[in-house]
Amino acid sequence: MKFQALASLGVASVSLCSANTIVLPRGASPEVLAAEPLAGPLAALKRALPNSPSGGYAPAVVDCPSNRPTIREANSLSPNETAWLELRRNYTLDPMISWLSRMNISNFDATSYINGIRNNVTALPNIGLAVSGGGYRALMNGAGFLAAADNRTNNATNRGQIGGLLQASTYVAGLSGGGWLVGSIYTNNFSSVEDLRDGSSGSSVWQFGNSIFEGPASDGIQILSTADYYSTIQDEVGSKADAGYNTSITDYWGRALSYQLVNATNGGPAYTFSSIALEPNFQSGSIPMPFLVSDARAPGTAIVSLNSTVYEFNPFELGSWDPTTYAFAPLRYVGSNFSEGVVPSDGSCVEGFDQAGFVMGTSSTLFNQFLLQINTTAIPQTLKNIFTSILADLGGDSDDIAQWKPNPFYGFNNATNRNAQTQELTLVDGGEDGQNIPLYPLIQPQRHVDVIFAVDSSADTTYNWPNGTSLVATYQRSLNSTIENGTSFPSIPDQNTFVNLGLNNRPTFFGCNASNITGPAPLVVYIPNAPYITLSNVSTFDPDYNDTQRNAIIQNGYEVATLANGTLDAQWPACMACAVLSRSFDRTGMQVPDECSQCFERYCWNGMVDSSTPGGDYTPAFKSAETTFSGAKRVAASASLVVAAVAATLLL
């Protein structure tokens, strides 16, 4: 199992093992920061709600609502999502007109085009964004993309910029490190990347300079010493165990992460993921719907593969579209004693299990390994000992999983559900099946997504750059008639072709010609991490980043998204708009504008393949001038050391 986890982390590509088990694309780098003990009255805080009934980290029994919660078959969108979409699709109209107009496709009147179809939702473009895993690297590179796409970012609506795409989108998905980004934005009331990056007095949000081993800075405002930080986390996790729930290293990991991601006292132990659905800006449809993705481990197995069942978290539900589980549970009531799809009359209803940090930790269980690096850090030995004893209590077999027990899908869809006979649903990092970009929720045919901007910060190659492995995995899964269950995906070439043709070094569109695909599938705009102004290929295992380096990598991600503010291609913003409109043009029979034809010529993968093995390691050149940031660490150097340390820990 340890070997598997290692392979999944992409360590195999650093030659520690040459597994032919699936190799997980992955990049890494979360952060951590501390507690913000200032907390004003909770009611005044504008962020996800601290609505766990226990008031803390532990779930608690509540009175069952008169309509007792039930599990449903995955044969449609939830009624909640359907109702929400009616609001959201309408809400995207004006942002879409504004964005498309600014992207300025020559000889195309975006305002009249969108106004002409504004009452016909099936004709309108439907946009999804997906941010890959890859730890803190993925968080920061993904943040650069989201900042560029956000009309609230300084200057993002100037010429050559793409701000406003986020406001025009219906869905935003994250997984593992990308899930930290999405989770952090949504638990902080849809904060902008700039606000999270710049933080605020007394808040430890996005302060990645203090690793999760140290906890938040004690800068005179913070009151938590590292020892207090540990004992706080231990007490919180202990409260869940005392309430009768299994805990694993993922609970500790999720708590530690939350200090960096959730801008609330002690990382907001009472914040739930389902509370996002209760926020006014989400309820009104004024912001996109977030998804986080996890994989399930079948009972009695340690291997997660492409045919593993994939689960999505959204603010309403946890569940899977796969033909195995094929069911959704109301997220708010996960933790209740479901059996055969209902909470029996002698069973209790529970809320608070879907704690926001625990959900983010569940999507990123591979990074539980971070905690095992404790001995390589500089913190005092006494603290290391405390921590090691906590880990020892947990036992090794739960190192890299999250325990969702009771299993909401117990006794449901017995004939196909691999977890129907187990009391525990074992969830792991969403990238463990090789699909490191969370496309899964966005390619479900019921969602009718037309275009996905797929931001890839995976560490596929020796030096932590992506090489298309994640898209290859999703494509392969879509070809397996046993598991694909109605999803289809554009044709994707092999990784050698990605590298040989540079498809992993600049944006590439896949699936431009809808009639070439077996079923309805979105056009995928692949946005791979690449060096523009700094080496953004930091190791998955580097646990801390000072503010200078953090900002440089976020800025690099911004340059990736805008092709260096349009300097590498002044038509790029228009080309993004063409990608957004492509499927809509197909449906309405609109003639494709000339500039769009030029864009498709330039950015669509044209079917060419070069599968020869590339010579040497992939070491891309800077696309803009490298900018020197004082105080930034040279990244590539520290990486191998840390990897070696982790590998040593695991192999022992």
Ligand X SMILES: *[C@@H]1O[C@H](CO)[C@@H](O)[C@H](O)[C@H]1NC(C)=O
Binding site for ligand X (CB under 6 A): 10, 13, 23, 25, 40, 45, 79-80, 87, 90-91, 94-95, 120, 122-123, 151-152, 154-155, 157, 167, 188, 191, 195-196, 199-200, 203, 205, 263, 277, 298, 305, 307, 316, 323, 326, 340, 372, 374-375, 384, 388, 391, 411, 414, 416, 420-421, 460-461, 467, 469, 480, 482-483, 485-486, 495-496, 499, 587-588, 614, 618, 649
Two structure tokens written together for 14: 């650093």
| Least distance to ligand X, CB of residue 427, Å | 16
Distance (Å, whole) CA 202 – CA 223: 10
Closest CB to ligand X among residues 82, 516: 82
| Least distance to ligand X, CB of residue 354, Å | 12
Task: Give the residue among 431, 403, 112, 114 at the shortest CA–CA distance from 245.
Answer: 403
| Least distance to ligand X, CB of residue 458, Å | 8
Burial of 158 (0-12, 13-18, 19+ CB in 10 A): exposed
Closest CB to ligand X among residues 106, 480: 480
| Least distance to ligand X, CB of residue 350, Å | 16
Render 225-281 in DSSP notation, one character per residue: -HHHHHHHHHHHHHHHHHTT----HHHHHHHHHHHHHS-SGGG-TT-BSGGGGGSHH
Element (H, E) at 579: helix 572-588
Task: From residue 302, give the alpha-carbon distance in Å to each of 19, 326, 397.
Answer: 15, 22, 10
H helix intervals, 321-367: 356-362
Burial of 393 (0-12, 13-18, 19+ CB in 10 A): exposed
| Least distance to ligand X, CB of residue 498, Å | 7
Closest CB to ligand X among residues 88, 623: 88
Distance (Å, whole) CA 471 – CA 474: 5
| Least distance to ligand X, CB of residue 601, Å | 25
| Least distance to ligand X, CB of residue 85, Å | 11
Closest CB to ligand X among residues 239, 408: 408
| Least distance to ligand X, CB of residue 316, Å | 6
Closest CB to ligand X among residues 239, 557: 557
Element (H, E) at 149: helix 135-149
Are 364 and 133 contacting, i.e. CB atoms less than 8 angstroms apart? yes
| Least distance to ligand X, CB of residue 405, Å | 15
Task: Give the residue among 332, 312, 405, 239 at the shortest CA–CA distance from 51.
Answer: 332
| Least distance to ligand X, CB of residue 212, Å | 14
Closest CB to ligand X among residues 323, 520: 323
Are 453 and 527 contacting, i.e. CB atoms less than 8 angstroms apart? yes
Distance (Å, whole) CA 86 – CA 385: 54
| Least distance to ligand X, CB of residue 426, Å | 13
Task: Give the residue among 34, 390, 374 at the shortest CA–CA distance from 228.
Answer: 34
Distance (Å, whole) CA 256 – CA 252: 6
| Least distance to ligand X, CB of residue 304, Å | 10
Closest CB to ligand X among residues 607, 616: 616
Are 100 and 580 contacting, i.e. CB atoms less than 8 angstroms apart? yes
What 3-state class would DSSP assign to 208?
A: coil
Closest CB to ligand X among residues 181, 374: 374
| Least distance to ligand X, CB of residue 385, Å | 8
Q: Say how many CA atoms lie within 13 Å of 134 toward its Cβ.
A: 35
Supply the DSSP symbol for 455. Answer: E
Closest CB to ligand X among residues 69, 507: 69
Distance (Å, whole) CA 520 – CA 27: 30
Element (H, E) at 350: strand 349-351
Closest CB to ligand X among residues 29, 265: 265
| Least distance to ligand X, CB of residue 643, Å | 13
Distance (Å, whole) CA 439 – CA 291: 10
Closest CB to ligand X among residues 375, 591: 375
Distance (Å, whole) CA 323 – CA 286: 33
| Least distance to ligand X, CB of residue 460, Å | 3
Q: Which residue type sits at 567? A: T
CA Rg, the chain, in Å? 23
| Least distance to ligand X, CB of residue 249, Å | 10
Closest CB to ligand X among residues 461, 534: 461
Distance (Å, whole) CA 520 – CA 575: 22
Closest CB to ligand X among residues 489, 618: 618
b/e burial code for range 184-197 (CB count within 10 A of at least 16 → b): bbbbbbbbbbebbb
Closest CB to ligand X among residues 385, 516: 385
Distance (Å, whole) CA 291 – CA 277: 12
Closest CB to ligand X among residues 399, 544: 399
b/e burial code for range 321-360 (CB count within 10 A of at least 16 → b): bbbbbbbbbbbbbbbbbbbebbbeeeeebbbbbbbbbbbb
Closest CB to ligand X among residues 164, 361: 164
Distance (Å, whole) CA 606 – CA 405: 47
> Nearest-5° angle of CA 556, CA 560, CA 562?
115
